[in-house]
Amino acid sequence: MGNQNDMALFLAVVDHGSFSAAGRALGQTPSAVGKRVRILEERLGVGLLIRSTRRMTLTQAGRRYSEEAREILARIAALEDDITESTGHLRGTIRLTSPTAFGQRFVVPAIIQFMQSNRDVEIELLMTDKVVDLVGEAFDLAIRTGKHENSSLIGRTIMPYRRTICAAPGYIKHHGRPMAPADLALHRCLKLPHEKVLTTWEVDDPERKGLRLGSGLVCNSLDALTAACLAGEGIACLPDFLTQENLSLERLMPVLEGSSKPSEAGSVSILRPETAITPRRMSIFSDFLYGHIRKEVIPKKPFISLHN
C-alpha cells in the first residue's frame, strides 16, 4: 500500500506542477509533499524531478515512473471495481465522449435510460466534435462517426452510414433544382467549416475541375445545418442518421441523385482504450449503448435509399 500511495502522491505533483499545488489537492503541506518525494527518490536511487525556482520537470526516470505508475494505479482501480461489481450491482464512474449532434439525438436518451436502472453509476459525458485523446484525457469510451484509423483503440462498429445531398421542397420551389454538380455554385449551400470531417460532397466530377459550392451558412453543428436545410435556407450534404426520417416524410428531398455517390461516408462506432481489465459496468454500458443506438437509428422497416 505504501508504494501505491507514493505513486498517487508523485502523480499529483506531476499533474499539478508543484509541491504546493499538489499539497492543496491532497490536504498536505508543501514541505510534507516534498519530503515524501525525496524519500521516494532515495528508495529508488534515482532522481525523478529536476527542481528550479520557476518550474519542475521530469527526468527520464521520472517520466517512465509516472507513465508506469499511472497505468498500475488504473489497473488496480479497474480490478477493485470489477470485484465490487461481480456481485451484479454496478457502481462507479464512466467517462464518455460523443459528437454533439449524434450525442444529443441518440446518446443522451440512452444514458438517461441506463442510469434509471443503474443509480450508482455516474456517467460523465463530453459532447464535442473534436477528436479526444481517450488515454491522455482518461476517457473510458467514445462514440465516433467517420473513418477510424487509430489502431491503439478497440472499436465496435454500430453501423455504417451514408450522406445525402438534399434540400427542403420550399427551397427547390423557389430556387429550382440543381441539374448538375456545377450548378451548386449558383445555389445557397450549407456547409461545415473546412477543418471539420465530412466536408467533402461526393459527386461525380469527370472533368476533375473540383466542386464549387455557393455561399450560405457555414456552421460546425450538423444539427444547425439540418435545421437550416429544413427551413429552406439552402442545400446540404447530411448523414443519413440525421435525414432518413425527414426524407421518408418528404420534409427533405434528395438532389443530384444521378451525380452523387451513394458510397459509405464512414461508420458510427464505440471505441475504448486497450486495457488489461475492463470493469463490468463498462462492458454492460457499452453493450447497452450499442443496442439502444441501433434500435433508434436503424429503421424498423427496410429503408430504400433515394439514391437508387
**Model confidence over 133-154: pLDDT tens digits?**
887 788 899 998 877 666 678 8
**Please, are residues 138 and 273 in contact by the beta-carbon 8 Å criterion?**
no
Of residues 11 and 278, more confidence is placed in 11
CATH code of 178's domain? 3.40.190.10
Does one domain contain both 43 and 120? no
Mean pLDDT of 69-91: 74
Does one domain contain both 62 and 72? yes
**What's the pLDDT at 301?**
44
**Please, are residues 143 and 97 in contact by the beta-carbon 8 Å criterion?**
yes
Mean pLDDT of 212-232: 91
Edge-to-edge strand list for the sheet holding 163-167: 189-190, 235-239, 163-167, 253-254
Does one domain contain both 167 and 243? yes
Does one domain contain both 249 and 173? yes
Among 199, 100, 208, 162, smallest CA distance to 306 is for 162
Does one domain contain both 171 and 249? yes
**What's the pLDDT at 1?**
46
**pLDDT tens, residue by residue, 227-265:** 999 999 999 999 888 888 899 899 999 998 766 665 456
The contacts of residue 127 (CB under 8 Å, 6+ apart) are 97, 98, 99, 100, 103, 104, 107
Cβ of 140: how many Cβ atoms within 10 Å?
23
Within a domain: 303: no
**What's the pLDDT at 307?**
38
Does one domain contain both 12 and 61? yes
Looking at 75-84, 120-129, 155-164, 275-284, which range is the least confident one?
Answer: 75-84
Cell 471495481 belongs to residue: 81
Q: How many domains does the chain have?
A: 3
Angle at CA 147, nearest 5°, toward 146 and 153?
110
Domain boundary among 38, 69, 85: 85
**pLDDT tens, residue by residue, 15-25:** 888 888 888 88
Does one domain contain both 290 and 242? no
**What's the pLDDT at 181?**
86
Domain boundary among 66, 85, 104: 85
Mean pLDDT of 36-65: 86
Does the global pTM surpass 0.75?
Answer: no
Does one domain contain both 10 and 76? yes
The contacts of residue 269 (CB under 8 Å, 6+ apart) are 143, 144, 145, 148, 155, 156, 157, 158
Per the prediction, the chain carries an average pLDDT of 83
Q: Is the pLDDT of residue 306 over 60?
A: no
Within a domain: 288: yes
CATH code of 60's domain? 1.10.10.10
Domain hosting residue 40, numbered range = 2-85
Does one domain contain both 177 and 236? yes
